[in-house]
Amino acid sequence: MINLESRVRVRFAPSPTGTLHLGSARTALFNFLFARHAGGEFVLRIDDTDAGRSHEGHEQAILADLRWLGLDWDEGPDVGGSCAPYRQSERLGGYRAAADELLAGGLAYHCFCPVERLAELRAAALAEGRLPRYDGRCLGLAPYQVQRRLAGGEPAALRFRIPPGDIVIDDLIRGPVVVGADAVGDFIIVRSDGVAGYNFATVVDDRDMGITHVIRGDDHLTNTARQVLLFRALGAPVPGFAHHSMVLGADGGKLSKRHAATAVGDYRELGYLPQAVVNYLALLSWSHGDDEVLGMHRLVADFAVERLSRSPVVFDQAKLDWLDHEHIMALAPEVHERLFAARLPAGTPPPATAALAAAFQSSLVAYGQAAALAAAVLEPPAPPADLTAALAAAAPQLTWFRALRAEAPDWLPPTAARDLLAVYRVWGKEQGIGARDLLMPLRIALTGAEHGPELPFVLAALARDTTLRRLDLTLAGVLAGEPTTTHGDTP
């Protein structure tokens, strides 16, 4: 078990070089759940040291997506905190001081090797089947040589001097993980342009922000080996590390756009519920047995980082769709109606919105479908030619229903529409007309299709004038012996 005697502090540190990927959102979620379960702090830090690729617009989009998911943070660039600032580009002085400390202690050294030589070393190692690593050429430079070259203005990076022996990571999910020193090599902690490298800046910030646990994907294991050494070299406590598994596509490759939408913003635009996305991300690597539809309170209460799976998981779009549908079905009617209405064209009458929201709740996968589903009722129908015969035979009952609807109010709630249809069915029974021959032609006349939402909802979604107009145009086409068209219709 994890020792939580000290106050838990975790962080999520996205790079604002693109949108928030589902895999990154899953990492943020695990950190958030861990902090909330332990009563600790969740820190948001922006890793923007890559000035060429970082963009403020990406940062704002990432923050918006995290808020949409409900992953609120206790400290961060927008809310402040005792460890401000929370953008790495604003913390450069701390990196310089830490680098000077390592340099003075003989734990780091200047490297003057140009980029071209390093590229050659890498290519040669890969060609021979070896892991690329620096050959230590600049490690043997005498102090006077280093000072002379620096005084001459020669650009130099700072490399961390790897101590001999294997590096052991006491992983909270995987147990002890051993990384050989050969897999790491003397790595750059400060580039020749003075910018701190990812591993170095991360360690300095984690130290200075009092981060107690680091939860992230297992693709960071080699980075963690480097960071463990840096924590020790700086005399700082090593956080508890936990490396969860990666999310793969159906073909076993890393999840990408060829498999499905991969950005949180994509699912937001498609109309998925944030609680469903969170629910699905939590289930990846974390089994709850038969309990699968889970809210945030339950996830916080049950979270245990040790229970996360070590094995890669496959993204299942169908499972996400099922979960979103289940969460939609659990919404209060007024919430569902509001979300459904937000996806409909401006000016859609409220009675139509209410009827259609109720009609399609049981079949909705995501709210992005709302406009297309509603259009099947709201847009003027054009029945296919092969259905006109059924309409022609039903002219008497359509004429009778038209008169019935003409006497009813302008808008009918679904209950009143059911009552109206009940009267229609009683009349049909008296005339010896079966329910199918009554209702199917009516549906075709009103929607242009044989199948769709229940007729009471269709009638409730259409104003009286719209219903009468569609019936009139259908009957006119039947009498003329021509296919029916109702272009120009409005609700």
Catalytic machinery residues: 257
Residue of 34, 75, 31 whose CA lies nearest to 216: 31
Enter the tokens of residue 460.
């409730």
What span, in angstroms and rounded, lies between the C-alpha atoms of 447 and 293? 35
How far is CA 354 from its chain centroid?
29
What span, in angstroms and rounded, lies between the C-alpha atoms of 363 and 195? 53
Beta-bridged to residue 43, according to DSSP, are 11, 75
What span, in angstroms and rounded, lies between the C-alpha atoms of 325 and 363? 8
Sort 172 into a burial class: Cβ within 10 Å, 0-12 / 13-18 / 19+.
buried
Backbone φ/ψ region at 210: left (φ over 0), alpha (ψ -120 to 50), beta: left
Identify each DSSP E strand in 205-314 by its residue range: 213-217, 240-244, 247-248, 313-314
- Classify 482 as helix, strand or coil: coil
- Classify 107 as helix, strand or coil: coil
Enter the tokens of residue 4.
């939580």
Cα–Cα–Cα angle for 393, 397, 398, rounded to 5 degrees: 90
Enter the tokens of residue 369.
């479908």
